[in-house]
Amino acid sequence: MVQYIALTGYMGSGKGVLSDMLKQSGYKYVSLSDIVREEATSRGLEHTRENLQNIGNELRSQYGAGVLGMKVRETITREPDQKWVVDGVRNPACMDELRELPGLKIVGVSADDELLIDRILDRRREGLSMTCDDVYARLKREKGEGEPTDGQQVRKCLDKVDYFILNDSSLEAFLHKFEHFLKLESGEARPTFDEIFMEIAYTWAKRTTCLRRGVGAVIAKDGQQITAGYNGAPRGVPHCAEVGGCLREKFGIPSGQRHEICRGTHAEQNAITQAAKFGISIEGSTLYCNTFPCVICTKMMLNAGITKVVYDSDYDDPLSKEILGQQTGLELKRYEGKKFG
């Protein structure tokens, strides 16, 4: 059994449900927000989400981005034999402070914006009359849009978790996913096929010769790996480091744009072309990748007959997302499970 579990995620994602489940199992609850609430009380301010966000940002700005995590860690270390669940983690620096606790596992919870907004409007937290636009603005702030680096940065936190869950269907399914995490940690459960193949994708990413980002991909069917690839220069071509550095960096090209200006081949492209080289059919297969596919990879996967893509981290390529939203032959799934990056 994991002794220390920390939770991060957007409002409405279901962190409270998991906290309640753990409390019933003997975990003691503490939230980083508790420290902020105490400060709000001392200032005579109402405990509205906006006030708490502002005070949290002030404390991080004054004492360091990880101050809330540090204070919670100090609280926990005073009862070292107690099992703890920590809620309200909203900045990566707080995660770093909490990771000083031995064996700590951080679980990230999320859902689509539309679903989060519907839940929050139904809940009407704080008794306020909020519109859809109000909730969306709060979500954007939690994600880190317009926030300082020591402010609300939940999106970055979700990229650094040990386990990721989507709360996008029933309560029963949500709890079942969390129970799998607990059983996986205790050795009572085997990894899912998604976890197996994503771990292999991350392993292939270690072979990258790209100077900006390591990406790995695996194509599988019926529970068996077919082919794999990683991003880097084509066969027989010098690596970027051998010819003076990254071409895209030299021209200042942002991520997700002008894919043709690059010496490298993407991991998904290499996995697909390896199948073609050896005459292996990948029609009806699933491609696992540790990042969202770009538009070139998307078009190749559609034409190759791949029917499902499981990706981990996001990648800002609007045209890829537009094309994927216009087709019905390729299922896109955000990876859930143990993280390996």
Could you give the residue numbers annotated as active site?
A: 268
Spatial neighbors of 60 by CB under 8 A, at least 6 apart, are 66, 67, 68, 91, 93, 150, 151
**Structure token pair of residue 36:** 């902020």
Contact 272, 303 (CB under 8 A): no
CA 92-6-71 angle, to 5 degrees, is 70
How many whole angstroms separate alpha carbon 337 and alpha carbon 179?
11
How many whole angstroms separate alpha carbon 69 and alpha carbon 75?
10
**Structure token pair of residue 285:** 């297969």
3-state helix/strand/coil string of 182-197:
HHHHHCCCCCCHHHHH
Long-range contacts of 232-237 (CB under 8 A, 24+ apart): 232/207, 232/208, 232/264, 232/265, 232/270, 233/209, 233/263, 233/264, 233/265, 234/263, 234/264, 234/265, 237/263
Report the length, in residues, of the chain.
341
How many whole angstroms separate alpha carbon 240 and alpha carbon 233?
7
- Among residues 6, 139, 14, 168, the alpha carbon closest in space to that of 73 is found at 6
Per the DSSP assignment, residues forming a β-bridge with 308 are 286, 331
Contact 226, 219 (CB under 8 A): yes
